[in-house]
A and B are shown apart, each in its own frame.
Chain A
Amino acid sequence: MGSARLYLSVAVGGFRRYASYRAATAAGVFTNTVFGLILVYTYLALWDERPGLGGYDQAQAVTYVWLGQCLYATLAIQGGGAEKELMERIRTGEVAVDLYRPVDLQLWWLAGDVGRAAFQLLGRGLVPFLFGSLFFTMALPTEAAAWLAFAVTLVLAAVVSFAIRYLAALCVFWLMDGMGIGQVLMITGVFFSGMVLPLNVFPGTLGEVVRVLPWAAQIQVPADVLMGETDPSAAFAFQAAWAVALLAAGRLLQSVATRRVVVQGG
Chain B
Amino acid sequence: MFVEGLRAYGLIAGMWVRSGMTYRTSFVFTVFGNLLMTGLDFVGILLMFTQVDSLGGWSLPEIAMLYGLSVTSFGIADMLLGSMDVLGARMRDGSFDVLLVRPVPVLAQVGADRFALRRLGRVAQGAVVLGWALSSVDVEWTAVKVLLVPVMVLSGAAIFSAVFVAGAAFQIFAQDAAEVQNAFTYGGTTLLQYPPTVFGKDLVRGATFMLPLAFVNWVPAAHILDRPYPIGLPGWASFASPLVAVGCCALAGLAWRTGLRSYRSTGS
Chain A positions near chain B (C-beta within 8 angstroms): 21-24, 26-28, 30-31, 34-35, 37-38, 41-42, 44-46, 49-50, 53, 177, 179-180, 183-184, 186-187, 190-191, 196-197, 201-203
CB distance from A140 to the nearest CB of B (A): 22
> Are B48 and A197 interface neighbours, CB within 8 A?
yes
Chain B minimum-CB-distance residue to A42:
B194
> Are A35 and B190 interface neighbours, CB within 8 A?
yes
CA distance A45 to B195 in the complex (A): 10
Question: Is B265 located at the chain interface by the 8 A CB criterion?
Answer: no
- Knowing A187-B36, A196-B40, the reply to whether A50 touches B179 (Cβ < 8 A) is no
Interface residues on B, range: 35 or more
Contact residues in B for A24 (Cβ distance below 8 Å): 176-179
The 6 A-B pairs of least Cβ separation, nearest first, read A23-B176, A196-B44, A27-B177, A27-B179, A34-B183, A183-B33
> Are B200 and A41 interface neighbours, CB within 8 A?
yes
Identify whether the interface residues of A are mostly helix, strand, loop, or mixed. helix
CA distance A35 to B180 in the complex (A): 11
Chain B positions near chain A (C-beta within 8 angstroms): 26, 29-30, 33, 36-37, 40-41, 43-44, 47-48, 50-56, 174-180, 182-184, 187, 190-191, 194, 197-200, 203
CB distance from A104 to the nearest CB of B (A): 33
> Are B198 and A45 interface neighbours, CB within 8 A?
yes
- Knowing A35-B183, A180-B26, A183-B33, the reply to whether A46 touches B51 (Cβ < 8 A) is yes
Which of A22, A27, A50, A187 is the one whose CB lies under 8 Å from B51? Answer: A50
Chain A minimum-CB-distance residue to B55:
A45
- Knowing A30-B183, A46-B51, A46-B55, the reply to whether A187 touches B33 (Cβ < 8 A) is yes
Contact residues in A for B203 (Cβ distance below 8 Å): 37, 41
Contact residues in B for A49 (Cβ distance below 8 Å): 52-55
CA distance A49 to B43 in the complex (A): 19
Contact residues in B for A41 (Cβ distance below 8 Å): 194, 198-200, 203
> Are B52 and A30 interface neighbours, CB within 8 A?
no
